[in-house]
Structure 1
Amino acid sequence: MTRRIGMLIFPRLTQLDMTGPYEVLARLPDTTVELIARTLEPVTTDRGMKIVPTTTYDACPPLDIIMVPGGPGQQDLMEDEVVLDFLRKQAASAKYVTSVCTGSLVLGAAGLLKGKRATCHWAALEHLKPLGAIPVAEKVVVDGNVVTGAGVTSGIDFALSLAAILEGEALAREIQLQIEYDPAPPFDSGSPKTAQPATLAALKAKLTKLNEDRREVAARVGRKLGTAV
């Protein structure tokens, strides 16, 4: 039987959160990857790219794996009952419930991370706690059937880890070689642990409003779930 993976897409998502994992997971044998949105109209990402959905919430068949990417638009999903009900319904029968970047906040808002270890983009990691999750500052976190990846480019690490779970390490290694995933960044600045203090401070300042918005939404949703402290 064909394995069916579904990835949510929504206005103002960060496309690499989705396209990185797509590139890996679409290479698995006997696998179909669906791009799921409210309608079949093209979805505009946070940087202006347009992505065409393949199915809608209403038409989507049962999924083996559900994945939620992140991006600024994630906040709207956290209080969208249509989206949250869709996730709960799919998660009830899915083998794996997964996310990349701030997509984990959406899983948390659906009540799917209560008591689960999970990760997120470093700048939003703290917002998992009000949603009942246990924040973990790692690139990929596996807790039972919940698999979460950290920010943006971590989606490739996430997808290779998931590929190994689904099809074995040998095939995952082949896919990594096929896509030539051999990170050698020009700067040692991809993590708050390694970035220069001035770089970290400058980016935190730019992210202040977005982070405060996320904090407010997470707190509000957490109170509704009964998980916020």
Structure 2
Amino acid sequence: MKQFAMLIYPGFTALDLIGPQTVFSTFRDAKIHLVWKTLDPVTTDAGITLLPTASFDTCPEELEILFVPGGVEGTIAVMKDGEVLDFLAARAEQASYVTSVCTGSLVLGAAGLLRGYRATTHWAFREMLPLLGAEPVDARYVEDRNRITGGGVTSGIDFGLRIDAKLQGEEAAQLA
């Protein structure tokens, strides 16, 4: 069973998560974990409340996918949160793919996970990527070795379908 960890945090953008999660839910052999520090409810920037299914302590260590959604105020907060950054860095060591959508790439960058990688993010924040050691690319999604980053919010579905094609094949992605 493939293990996917999708970080959720107060103030993240729900659509950044929901697009890829919808695609990932079509995987035949994957367990998707919505991960936060605790199992307490997490409220998005749109006021939608989600329940984590795993905490940092209970999240599997070996992951197929480590995913970070974006946002604005919530993203800035987690970029400064040592516990979040340490969790991401630790799980990235054993993840097959380290991924994000929108400003989630800035969180990956703050955790030191994009140094020397090409990456994308929401167009309004792309100039921040070099400050975090990444080479910015203007694209819907960017794949560089085991890092896959999606651009703005709506690119999340394209991003999810690319991962689907990589892991399950083109035909499965076309059916998703």
Q: Under a length normalisation based on structure 2, what TM-score does the superposition of the two structures give?
A: 0.97
- The corresponding residue for 2:66 is 66
- The corresponding residue for 1:40 is 39
Deviation at 1:141, TM superposition (A): 0.2
User: What 5-or-longer segments of structure 1 have no aligned partner?
Assistant: 176-229
Q: Which amino acid aligns with 1:86?
A: F
Deviation at 1:39, TM superposition (A): 1.0
- The corresponding residue for 2:165 is 164
Largest Rg, 1 or 2: 1
Deviation at 1:36, TM superposition (A): 0.3
Q: Which amino acid aligns with 2:143?
A: V
- The corresponding residue for 1:220 is none
Q: Which amino acid aligns with 1:71?
A: G
**Cα distance in 2 for residues equivalent to 1:6 and 1:137:** 26
Q: Which amino acid aligns with 1:89?
A: A
Deviation at 1:25, TM superposition (A): 0.6
**Cα distance in 1 for residues equivalent to 2:86 and 2:59:** 13
**Cα distance in 2 for residues equivalent to 1:124 and 1:51:** 26
Deviation at 1:153, TM superposition (A): 1.1
**Cα distance in 2 for residues equivalent to 1:161 and 1:123:** 23
Deviation at 1:26, TM superposition (A): 1.2
Deviation at 1:118, TM superposition (A): 0.2
Whether 1:111 and 2:101 are equivalent positions in the alignment is: no
Deviation at 1:171, TM superposition (A): 0.4
Higher share of residues assigned helix: 1
- The corresponding residue for 2:135 is 134
Deviation at 1:38, TM superposition (A): 1.2
**Cα distance in 1 for residues equivalent to 2:58 and 2:42:** 17
Count residues with an aligned counterpart: 174
**Cα distance in 2 for residues equivalent to 1:159 and 1:50:** 22
Whether 1:93 and 2:94 are equivalent positions in the alignment is: yes
Deviation at 1:149, TM superposition (A): 0.3
Deviation at 1:95, TM superposition (A): 0.4
Deviation at 1:59, TM superposition (A): 1.3
Residues 95-133 of structure 1: per-residue CA shift (max 9 Å, x gap): 000000000000000111011000000111111110000
Residues 142-188 of structure 1: per-residue CA shift (max 9 Å, x gap): 0000000011111000000011011111100011xxxxxxxxxxxxx
Classify the secondary structure of the residue corresponding to 2:11.
coil
- The corresponding residue for 2:147 is 146
**Cα distance in 1 for residues equivalent to 2:161 and 2:77:** 29
**Cα distance in 2 for residues equivalent to 1:99 and 1:169:** 21
**Cα distance in 1 for residues equivalent to 2:138 and 2:28:** 31
**Cα distance in 1 for residues equivalent to 2:80 and 2:57:** 18
Q: Which amino acid aligns with 1:47?
A: A
Moved over 3 A (4+): none
User: What 5-or-longer segments of structure 2 have no aligned partner?
Assistant: none
Classify the secondary structure of the residue corresponding to 1:115.
coil
Residues 193-223 of structure 1: per-residue CA shift (max 9 Å, x gap): xxxxxxxxxxxxxxxxxxxxxxxxxxxxxxx
Percent identity over the alignment is 53
Deviation at 1:79, TM superposition (A): 1.3
Deviation at 1:61, TM superposition (A): 1.1
Alpha-carbon RMSD across the aligned residues, in angstroms, is: 0.6
Higher share of residues assigned strand: 2
